Amino acid sequence: MNISEKIEALRGLMQETGWDAVIISGTDPHGSEYLPERWQQRKWISGFTGSYGTVVVTRTHAGLWTDTRYFIQSRQELEGTGFEMHPLRVPGAVNYPEWLAANLTPGAVVGIDGECLTYREAEYLEQVLKSLNGTIDNKPSFLNVIWKDRPGLPEDPVFILEEKYSGKDTRQKLERLREQIKEEGCTHILLNSLDQIAWLFNIRCHDIPYNPVAVSYALVDKKTATLFVSPKKVSEQVEKILRSQGVSVMPYHSLYDVLKSLPAQSSIIADGNTLNYNAFQYLLTRYPVHDIESPVILEKAVKNSVEIEGFRKAFLYDGLAMERFFFWLERTLENDVALTETDASKKLSWMRALCRDAAGDSFGYISAYGANAALPHYNAVPGACSKLEKKGLYLIDSGGHYLYGTTDITRTIPLGPLSAAEKEDYTVALKGMISLSRAVFLKGTKGTHLDMLARDPLWRHRRNYGHGTGHGIGHYLCVHEGPQDIRMNWKDQDILPGMVTSNEPGIYREGSHGVRHENVLLCRELEVNEFGTWLGFETLTVCHIDTSPVITSLMDRSEIEWLNDYNRSVFEKLAPFLTYEESGWLKNKTAPLIP
């Protein structure tokens, strides 16, 4: 079926069920950003391939709600499909619940798949629909009726992440979690977020592209811990190791039977921001539920000493792959070899795969030349992408998994002569990245406070970017993790020592070019004095920043000193591992910038 036929079939289903609208989320029962094929529902119905957005279909309208990262991409992908893009995170934006309340008739019924909306999202939707006496109707997996060849659950094998990489065994993590359950006066906690489960049980898997996690649930009480996962995925050896750590394994689809059989006096911690509506409602009908943020989120985000050393090692090896890639790219273009955006990204992925303990890419690379780089989440498609030319800017946003850490890095490099605007945007965005890198702040500072440091140099030049400045990064886990972030939107979460967070300001000019500079930062304690506890950042990323586009008159002396110090440290760390020719090339690239 094409998109129009799918919409027609969906409206036929709506007619049969008495729905006035349906919501198709862009996630799965576990709130994942990247999805197994089974839950690529938004892509299947609309053709939109971005990682964020919600589809709403009524009897007369089909819409996609997405944010500033995907405005250009969504307009391109939705053209001719009958879908209209609704912008989010801009002044005057109207999200889909409010849009439904304004456009549906009184008494309207909205169909949802309650396994693929969080409890908080569905609860908010219910509240908004009350203004027109509307209701929601939960039918899990309703798309099965029209999606005849829908894939099943993934069956990739689960494996154990050894303690020499994780820094803590599962028993230690469970002991801490049980203390937190007891502090809340509860008996159990139910987890559905896959990265939380993977971290808690020290397991990894490849069920989801780029995220080394297993499709699963977890239930923990004061004595037992249960992993709900397809039995085919767990070998006897893995099950034996889990059992030795106090974890039993049960089938994925047995979750509701186990929940039903819990003691009547049970009280359960469930995070309404992550647990799906279906599971949360099931608990509410049977037990007292404490709706609080899962304590695993913060425990996971504050890295232990072993994880921190692992990150440093991962970024060292990652830097070698990056520098060898840039060396190859420059030499290849000098020899007039034709290269496309996908040729370049495949080469970098291959170079990462050669690194010691490499475990795959951490996300789909953004390999964007020229005007394509103005799309922050551009996706180069073989056969339809741009050829690299010996002029203008090339942006490559990439990352890898290693057994001891996950990386994320963006570099924008010149392939030849640049315009004055390209040089200025390159320099101004770099000033923003340097500003955040050098931050010193009191304990208790939130990401929103720090966001201003990165934007200030851009705002002074009347420039801005629509995405966040920084996101948390998992330890051989999801490249995007919470609870911390650095963005304009308020979030009541301190930036704490041990957190690993990206730093990626950018400038994007539609139809012309895009610039983004991204390093990854480790928050560290600097000093304690009578004024408080002072924190700052250690830059983990080890890859040179090209100084040739920099307009030195726009940089102050301290910024140039930071840039020179950073590039010098990159050379000192990587040169011993490079060939003579590569080392000589990198020495030239990291030569001091003269004011």
In tens, the pLDDT along 177-213 reads: 999 999 999 999 999 999 999 999 999 999 999 999 9
376 cis-preceded (ω within 30 degrees of 0): no
For residues 259 and 308, state if they share a domain.
no
> Can you give the pLDDT at residue 33?
86
Q: Is residue 186 a part of any domain in this protein? A: yes
Averaged pLDDT, 525-535: 98
State the CATH number of the domain containing residue 521: 3.90.230.10
For residues 313 and 348, state if they share a domain.
yes
Q: Enumerate residues 6+ apart whose C-beta is below 8 A from 290.
A: 184, 185, 186, 267, 268, 269, 270
Q: Report whether 363 contacts 477 (CB < 8 A).
A: no
For residues 504 and 384, state if they share a domain.
yes
For residues 294 and 306, state if they share a domain.
no
For residues 335 and 264, state if they share a domain.
no
Q: Is residue 175 a part of any domain in this protein? A: yes
- The first and second tokens of residue 72, run together, are 């250009």
**In degrees rounded to 5, what are phi and psi of residue 486?**
-125, 105
Reply yes or no on whether the pLDDT at 38 is more than 90: yes
Q: 3-class SS at 113?
A: coil
Tens of pLDDT along 299-326? 999 999 999 999 999 999 999 999 999 9
The DSSP code for 486 is E
Reply yes or no on whether the pLDDT at 347 is more than 90: yes
Q: Is residue 18 a part of any domain in this protein? A: yes
Tens of pLDDT along 578-591? 999 999 999 999 99
Domain boundary (300, 320, 337) is at 300
> Can you give the pLDDT at residue 75?
84
Reply yes or no on whether the pLDDT at 139 is more than 90: yes
- The first and second tokens of residue 316, run together, are 């060292």
Q: Is residue 532 a part of any domain in this protein? A: yes
> Can you give the pLDDT at residue 71?
79
Q: Report whether 523 contacts 496 (CB < 8 A).
A: yes
> Can you give the pLDDT at residue 154?
94
For residues 229 and 95, state if they share a domain.
no
> Can you give the pLDDT at residue 113?
97
> Can you give the pLDDT at residue 375?
87
State the CATH number of the domain containing residue 233: 3.40.350.10
For residues 240 and 136, state if they share a domain.
no
Averaged pLDDT, 338-348: 97
> Into how many domains does the chain fold?
3
Q: Is residue 15 a part of any domain in this protein? A: yes
Specify the pTM: 0.93
For residues 279 and 419, state if they share a domain.
no
Reply yes or no on whether the pLDDT at 70 is more than 80: no
- Tell the residue number behind the tokens 């520098």, with chain if given: 323
Q: Is residue 151 a part of any domain in this protein? A: no
Q: How confident is the model at residue 51 (pLDDT cuts 50, 70, 90)?
A: confident
Averaged pLDDT, 41-62: 93
Domain boundary (88, 116, 145) is at 145
Q: Is residue 360 a part of any domain in this protein? A: yes
Q: How many CB atoms lie within 10 A of CB 83?
A: 23
> Can you give the pLDDT at residue 419?
97
For residues 325 and 459, state if they share a domain.
yes
> Can you give the pLDDT at residue 69?
74
Reply yes or no on whether the pLDDT at 72 is more than 80: no
Buried b (16+ CB within 10 A) or exposed e, 447-463: bbbbbebbbebbeebeb
Tens of pLDDT along 140-184? 999 999 999 999 999 999 999 999 999 999 999 999 999 999 999
Reply yes or no on whether the pLDDT at 68 is more than 90: no
Q: How confident is the model at residue 61 (pLDDT cuts 50, 70, 90)?
A: very high
- Find the radius of gyration of the CA atoms of the chain: 25
Q: Is residue 153 a part of any domain in this protein? A: no
Average per-residue pLDDT in the chain? 96
Domain that includes residue 324, residue range = 302-590
For residues 472 and 510, state if they share a domain.
yes
For residues 445 and 582, state if they share a domain.
yes
Strands (E), 133-276: 135-138, 159-160, 188-191, 203-204, 217-221, 225-228, 247-250, 268-270
Domain boundary (282, 300, 318) is at 300
Reply yes or no on whether the pLDDT at 41 is more than 90: yes
Q: Report whether 112 contacts 90 (CB < 8 A).
A: no
The DSSP code for 273 is T
Does 538 or 47 have the greater pLDDT score?
538
> Can you give the pLDDT at residue 74?
84
Q: How far apart are CA 397 and CA 53, in angstroms?
A: 21
> Can you give the pLDDT at residue 208?
92
Q: Enumerate residues 6+ apart whose C-beta is below 8 A from 589.
A: 326, 544, 546, 547, 567
Q: 153: closest CA among 230, 209, 239?
A: 230
The strand pairing partners of 501, in sequence order, are 472, 521
Tens of pLDDT along 401-454? 999 999 999 999 999 999 999 999 999 999 999 999 999 999 999 999 999 999
Averaged pLDDT, 39-56: 92
> Can you give the pLDDT at residue 377?
84
For residues 88 and 69, state if they share a domain.
yes
Q: How far apart are CA 14 and CA 221, in angstroms?
A: 41
> Can you give the pLDDT at residue 1?
87
Tens of pLDDT along 269-302? 999 999 999 999 999 999 999 999 999 999 999 9
> Can you give the pLDDT at residue 281?
96
